[in-house]
Structure 1
Amino acid sequence: MTLAGLTAALASPALAQEEPPPVAAGSWVFGVGAATDNRSKDVSKSDGNPYVWGLAEWSSADGAFYAGSAFETVRSNGSELEASVFAGWRPQVMGFDLDLNVEHKWLIDANPGADDDAFELTADVMRSIGPVEGRLRLQHTPDGVGAREAWTWYEAQVSWDQTPTWSWSAAVGQREQEVGIDYVGWNVGATWRLSDRFELDGRWHDTDVDGSMAVGDDETYEGRFVIGLSAFF
């Protein structure tokens, strides 16, 4: 068999010298959306006002590596727009899905002298059993935007795909801050996949922060039901 293969290769030099197939270049995903409040870690980044967001993300052919940029409207330190760039790695380890990423955020046109940028590190560990998925999240920044300095966020989430288009999820987390209020936050809600591209989410967000601790009309920590629409292309 070896002799026959060698003879065939010598008889067909053009086939023997063919170039290897091209390596897949990866793919892009683009997303846009809007919601009645910009909630992050169960507190408002838009002082209870509606917001819009968008992102562009590139993933490697095997889906393990990704990078991109994003924006969202906020109300923070005089800024109404936050922009970011991010990169991450999604390996699988012993049956668990991991998502490890770093993100650099900027507040556009923030007040003069305000600390308008921050690095945010995120580590997710996920495991699915049938229609149920559990996720543990750890987030940390050594120096937050504005007056905030280092903070850490711990969160546990569980979700259930009731049907191919309808899912429920709930999460509870704790935020520890060097400058700012330490609090526990939680959310519960449902997501409706309207199509392959569109999702509608309804969710209640709340914290254990007493309303008397808010400043003026600040609605940062107040509980609120949020409705959001997302589209991906």
Structure 2
Amino acid sequence: MIRTLTTALALALTAAPAMAQDAPGQWSFGFGAGTDNRSKDASKSMGKEYAWASAAWESDSGFFYVDGGLQGIESNGSDTEGELGLGVRPQIAGFDLDLSATHKWQLDANPGADADAWEFTANLSRSIGPAKARLQLQHSPDGLGSTKAWTWVEARAGWAFNETLSSSAAIGRREQDGSIDYTGYNAGVTWAVSRNADLDLRWYGTDGPGSDPRYADSMVAKVSFGF
């Protein structure tokens, strides 16, 4: 199964340009590492360091895209999560809208574990000068592991001080069946070291149980490279 999914990821990314009318489009690649893998303000790596890599293709207009990647996690006996998604980016009344569907799976998870899930995301954003705001809605009808249906809503605001330094802060709420509900928040700064490299230093917190490393407050450093 893992080999089949990995092969499907590679084939889908290779075939992506043929899926849009305005081919050939363009490719982008990224990789990086961090001191903790945070998603929806909770840790996916149990507070441990991780690495990630991704590839994406988008149409010449930027309207349609396909992306996929791998990242380090600690869940259900797996230490690697794969994902493959597709989406569209229309503009509505001056706002940027990003709608996507992503399939995620945990490689070499424990036998019998619920190790794959679909995740649907809608991002609505707007930039005015150096200010940027985003509202995000995410939902899965059946999450990974014991988590069943869940919904995440987040509001984010950011400010660009100059071409290389920016800051942002966000607060979100996750409601989920089969696991705890919690509120998460983060704030940090991003420094564009070069055209292809970023450094991000960010504080994360939740109102989840502090004894669980997934919900504990943490200062996280991350480096990202994109081409």
The normalised TM-score by structure 1 is: 0.87
CA distance in 2, matches of 1:68, 1:171: 24
The Cα of 1:209 is off from its aligned counterpart by: 1.7
Which letter maps to 2:218? R
Residues 12-33 of structure 1: per-residue CA shift (max 9 Å, x gap): xxxxxxxxxxx65100000001
SS at match of 2:163: coil
Number of matched pairs: 206
Root-mean-square deviation (Å): 0.8
Structure 2 counterpart of 1:232: 226
CA distance in 1, matches of 2:208, 2:83: 28
Seq. identity, %: 52
CA distance in 1, matches of 2:200, 2:92: 30
SS at match of 1:194: strand
Which letter maps to 1:54? A
Which 5+ residue runs of structure 2 have no aligned equivalent?
Answer: 1-21
CA distance in 2, matches of 1:54, 1:209: 29
Which 5+ residue runs of structure 1 have no aligned equivalent?
Answer: 1-22
Structure 1 counterpart of 2:65: 66
Structure 2 counterpart of 1:178: 177
The Cα of 1:108 is off from its aligned counterpart by: 0.3
Which letter maps to 1:147? S
The Cα of 1:129 is off from its aligned counterpart by: 1.0
Which letter maps to 2:143? G
Q: Where in structure 1 do 4 or more consecutive aligned residues deviate above 2 Å?
A: none
CA distance in 2, matches of 1:56, 1:45: 21
Structure 2 counterpart of 1:8: none
Higher deviation after alignment, 202-211 or 142-151? 202-211
CA distance in 1, matches of 2:127, 2:84: 29
CA distance in 2, matches of 1:87, 1:30: 16
CA distance in 2, matches of 1:163, 1:29: 24
CA distance in 1, matches of 2:84, 2:23: 24
What pairs up with 1:143-222 in 2 under 5 angstroms?
143-211=142-210, 214=211, 218-222=212-216
Residues 74-117 of structure 1: per-residue CA shift (max 9 Å, x gap): 00000000001010100101000000000000100000100010
What pairs up with 1:26-175 in 2 under 5 angstroms?
26-175=25-174
The Cα of 1:132 is off from its aligned counterpart by: 0.2
The Cα of 1:219 is off from its aligned counterpart by: 0.4
Residues 140-162 of structure 1: per-residue CA shift (max 9 Å, x gap): 00000111100000000001001
Which of structures 1 and 2 has the bigger CA Rg?
A: 1
The Cα of 1:179 is off from its aligned counterpart by: 1.0
CA distance in 1, matches of 2:139, 2:157: 21
The Cα of 1:210 is off from its aligned counterpart by: 3.4
The normalised TM-score by structure 2 is: 0.89
